[in-house]
């Protein structure tokens, strides 16, 4: 049993929102689940897995500028701010800090609800540290 964790962080890399899905599900599922609950922001930094026209349009409708590089298979390349994209390491650092918690890193819990509860507990502490 595997899962995929999607996260939204603030500009400091502190976790704000989470969504968990089955491991074989596309990244678009997590994007669709989190796009409506996005907090007000100027920019959204994401990796190539979130490159979709509908996702970019949904962000623009909410007044959020996407900074997502295009997939290599795109016909027309997408422009994005490369300097701003380098700040995406903050979310990777947040996932690394989250995996410092042994119960999250090794996935002791079989039930997804209990696993998400462990993640919520860990991120609550990470938010304030």
| C-alpha to C-alpha distance for 129 and 125, rounded to whole angstroms | 6
Q: In whole angstroms, how far apart are CA 27 and each of 16, 19, 43, 114?
A: 18, 11, 19, 22
pLDDT at residue number 94? 92
Give residue-wise pLDDT tens across range 45-100. 998 889 999 999 999 999 999 999 999 888 888 999 999 999 999 989 999 999 99
In 3D space, the residue among 95, 89, 48 whose CA is nearest the CA of residue 67 turns out to be 48
pLDDT over 90 percentage in the chain: 37
- Average pLDDT along the chain: 88
- What is the CATH code for 3-128? 3.30.420
pLDDT band with cut points at 50, 70 and 90 for residue 1: low
User: For the chain, which residues make up each domain, given as ranges?
Assistant: 3-128
């Amino acid at each position: 049993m595997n899962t995929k964790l999607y996260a939204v962080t603030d500009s400091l890399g502190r976790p704000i929102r989470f969504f968990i899905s089955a491991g074989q599900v596309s990244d678009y599922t997590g994007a669709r689940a989190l796009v409506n609950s996005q907090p007000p922001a100027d920019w959204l930094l994401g990796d190539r897995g979130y490159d979709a026209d509908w996702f970019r349009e949904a962000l623009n409708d909410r007044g959020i500028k996407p900074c997502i590089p295009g997939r290599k298979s795109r016909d027309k390349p997408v422009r994005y701010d490369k300097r701003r994209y380098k700040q995406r390491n903050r979310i990777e650092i947040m996932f690394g800090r989250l995996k410092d918690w042994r119960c999250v890193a090794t996935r002791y819990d079989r039930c997804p609800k209990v696993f998400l509860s462990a993640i919520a507990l860990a991120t609550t502490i990470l938010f304030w540290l």
